Amino acid sequence: MTTTTAPPVLTVEDLTVVYEVEEPVTAVRGADLTLHRGEILGLAGESGCGKTTLAYAVNRLHRPPARIASGRITFHDRSGEDVDILALEDRELRAFRWDKLSMVFQGAMNALNPVGTVRAQLRDTLLAHRPRMSRKEVRERSEDVLRRVGVDPRRLGSYPHELSGGMRQRVMIAMAMLLEPQIMIMDEPTTALDVVVQRDILREIVRLRDELDFAVVFITHDLPLLLEISDRIAVMLEGEIVELDTAEGLYRDAKHPYTKKLLGSFPSLSGERGAFIRTGVDETETAAAGASTEERA
């Protein structure tokens, strides 16, 4: 069974999100989306098309002026239970987040608490959800997730400013994996990193997915990157999902003119899928170049 035929883990139906400002903005318009168990679903589209708004709404992390005007969001738990996310009470929602569905936020590199060590931040998240965990279990779990994302467990004692950008990002991914959620939403998780670090991290996300079998919604404006790592790709334009297909199908036979335009705007997209990625890298993404050697050491 491939991931695209696996049972669904999340269903989004007819989701509309409006920013109720002076001139209301419909940032997500009637979105339908099914995420399958263990699938990597790419969500692409240019800046402002509504990717982050959609991700926040799925987590119910949206805040006024954002309002969910319509739709249904259903989480299909491994246990067989269906959870109506929009109907959850606050307490249930807090228990649900991180545990069943976690998110790596856009700009997450700077989302760690600057005055807490990596150890303290992992511990706090663990204990908030698993209050009965022993000190030893907390330590072992923290060390384990760091190892999985390629960070030396000796870094547990480090403060965020002592880590490279790539390592901070890995710690955020470790945090998102901490409670073994069934879905991870990653909003532009690597765009601020240099190319080598970015590729290393992506490779690890794919490997972890293979190992641990969570589903990923991977958000980026970088379509070539998505073609490489995704099982399926949704293309968003002005709040609407205008095309949704397997990466292969999209690459070979894009239907929507906007998708064609997106594909056409990457001159490196010729030849076989997988053979071309990350050649058209943005010049501005070369920050933290010094970090890459440490990452891979």
Ligand X SMILES: Nc1ncnc2c1ncn2[C@@H]1O[C@H](COP(=O)(O)OP(=O)(O)OP(=O)(O)O)[C@@H](O)[C@H]1O
Question: Taking CB under 6 A as the rule, does residue 48 contact ligand X?
Answer: yes
Q: Which does 242 bind (CB under 5 to 8 A by kind): ligand X, Mg ion, none?
A: none
Name the one range near ligand X by CB under 6 A: 48-56, 196-204, 275-283, 288-296: 48-56
CB nearer to ligand X: pick between 51 and 100: 51
Using alpha carbons, select from 258, 284, 276, 201 the residue that is nearest to residue 44. 258
CA dihedral 271, 272, 277, 283 (to 10 degrees): 10
Task: Please spell the DSSP secondary structure of 71-123, one letter per residue.
Answer: EEEEEE-TTS-EEEGGG--HHHHHHHBTTTEEEE-TTGGG-S-TTS-HHHHHH
- Burial label for 111, CB within 10 Å (0-12, 13-18, 19+), is middle
Is residue 284 within 8 Å of 195, Cβ to Cβ? no
Name the one range near ligand X by CB under 6 A: 21-29, 88-96, 192-200, 267-275: 21-29
The β-bridge relationship of strands 82-84 and 66-76 is antiparallel
CB nearer to ligand X: pick between 146 and 219: 219
**Smallest distance, ligand X to C-beta of residue 88, A:** 22
3-state secondary structure of 64: coil
Of the candidates 33, 40, 53, 244, which one interacts with ligand X according to CB under 6 A?
53
- Burial label for 146, CB within 10 Å (0-12, 13-18, 19+), is buried
Q: Which does 57 bind (CB under 5 to 8 A by kind): ligand X, Mg ion, none?
A: none
Using alpha carbons, select from 235, 226, 228 the residue that is nearest to residue 257. 235
**Residues touching ligand X, count (CB under 6 A):** 15
Question: Taking CB under 6 A as the rule, does residue 191 contact ligand X?
Answer: no
Question: Taking CB under 6 A as the rule, does residue 65 contact ligand X?
Answer: yes
DSSP 199: H
CB nearer to ligand X: pick between 53 and 164: 53
**Smallest distance, ligand X to C-beta of residue 235, A:** 12
Residue at 273: amino acid letter:
R
Is residue 68 within 8 Å of 12, Cβ to Cβ? no
Binding mask 217-236 for ligand X (x = CB under 6 A): ----x---------------
Name the one range near ligand X by CB under 6 A: 3-11, 42-50, 176-184, 226-234: 42-50
CB nearer to ligand X: pick between 45 and 150: 45
Residue nearest Mg ion, Cβ-based: 52
Question: Taking CB under 6 A as the rule, does residue 106 contact ligand X?
Answer: yes
- Chain residues binding Mg ion by CB under 5 A are 51-52, 106
Kindly list the residues in this chain that would bind ligand X in the complex (CB under 6 A).
19, 21, 25, 27, 45, 47-53, 65, 106, 221
